[in-house]
Amino acid sequence: MQNLELITPDHIPLIQDFLSRFPRQNCDYTVTNILAWGKIYRNHLLLWQNNLVIFNPKYQYICFPVGESFQSEDLPSLVKLFRSSYPEAELILIPEEYYLAHPDLDKHFSISADRAWADYVYEIDKLVQLSGKKLAKKKNLISQFKRAYPDYHVLPITSEKFEPILQFTHKWRRERSADGIYLMTEIKAIENTLQMWDILPVEGLIICLNNRIAAYSIFSPQSPEMVTEHFEKFDPDKKGAAQLINWETVRYLQGRFRYINREQDIGLEGLRQAKLSYEPEFLVPFYTGKLL
């Protein structure tokens, strides 16, 4: 397909420019996710009518254009353009506010929301304070961890810690007998993120016990008021480690961002319960539009 380019690190300034001018709430619209996961799926980009379009050829997904140089009636033409080379192509990540403001989309698309891919967004101040009865258990588990491991340290992720992070991640997978296509793909995305660390707008924290990793988190900006946490792993044998890395991460980010996007539950019931237990401020829907 003409003018469709494979995304490489050389495109980072272009992608950052569009996302800084037209920020989105879906976690898929971060430079980190576009590069780290896009390297796996061989994602491409297209400059279309002065808008940025990200395309996943594996699943033939057209991400809703980043920009404002189009009308709603142009979107069917965009899908048809891709279908000339990718016959199953469909539009995803339609922003809810755009859909509500353009009911005429229903004339061209069958639009549906996929709950499994909705993003969970929390207010950072609330996650730091953990006030209220529903969050009291989180606070208690953090206190238990602090009492059990008073000498724990919080360290920034830097290049010399990449190999221990990967070893910890694979150890976590083996000990939990966690397999599956999505998990193995996630581990590859973590590897890609670490490989591109110096060129991505990414940061991370490690909980360190006796020079060993107990938990870590990796995150990057989503918008001026929102940060997205892409990856979080913890030692399940260290009671309270999951709650502590969550709390230390939001403490680190407090004052810089109002919200933290902790991405999706991908339809896993246990993960959904865990994310809901932190009382999200709101969910960011995942809308797909199938051409009629």
CATH number of residue 43's parent domain: 3.40.630.30
Integer Cα distance of 281 and 259 in angstroms: 9
Integer Cα distance of 233 and 275 in angstroms: 14
What does DSSP say about strands 226-234 and 259-261: parallel, antiparallel, or unpaired? Answer: parallel
Q: Is 206 exposed, middle or buried (0-12, 13-18, 19+ CB in 10 A)?
A: buried
Is residue 228 in a domain?
yes
Residues 86 and 190 placed together within one structural domain of the fold: no
Residues 147 and 233 placed together within one structural domain of the fold: yes
Residues 160 and 222 placed together within one structural domain of the fold: yes
- Which pLDDT tens digit goes with each residue over 90-108? 999 999 999 999 999 999 9
Residues 65 and 26 placed together within one structural domain of the fold: yes
Task: Judge contact between 41 and 68, C-beta under 8 A.
Answer: no
The CA radius of gyration of the chain, in Å to the nearest whole number, is: 20
Is residue 278 in a domain?
no
- Which pLDDT tens digit goes with each residue over 175-186? 665 555 667 889
Residues 126 and 222 placed together within one structural domain of the fold: yes
Residues 190 and 93 placed together within one structural domain of the fold: no
Integer Cα distance of 48 and 29 in angstroms: 17
Domain count, the chain: 2
**Which pTM value belongs to this model?**
0.95
Q: Name the pLDDT band for 248 (thresholds 50, 70, 90).
A: very high
Task: Judge contact between 156 and 205, C-beta under 8 A.
Answer: yes
Instruction: Give the residue numbers spanning the domain of 131.
Output: 119-263
Task: Judge contact between 243 and 141, C-beta under 8 A.
Answer: yes
Residues 96 and 46 placed together within one structural domain of the fold: yes
Is residue 218 in a domain?
yes
Q: Name the pLDDT band for 113 (thresholds 50, 70, 90).
A: very high
| Cβ atoms < 10 Å from Cβ of 36 | 26
Task: Name the residue type at position 207.
Answer: I
Residues 108 and 160 placed together within one structural domain of the fold: no
Per DSSP, 210 falls in state T
Contacts of 38 (CB under 8 A, 6+ apart): 7, 54, 56
Residues 128 and 258 placed together within one structural domain of the fold: yes
What are the beta bridge partners of residue 156? 205
Q: What is the mean pLDDT of residues 273-284?
A: 97
Is residue 230 in a domain?
yes
- Which pLDDT tens digit goes with each residue over 130-157? 999 989 999 999 999 999 999 999 999 9
Residues 257 and 131 placed together within one structural domain of the fold: yes
Residues 60 and 137 placed together within one structural domain of the fold: no
Question: Which strand (E) or helix (H) includes residue 163?
Answer: helix 162-175
Question: Which strand (E) or helix (H) includes residue 205?
Answer: strand 203-209
Integer Cα distance of 21 and 273 in angstroms: 35
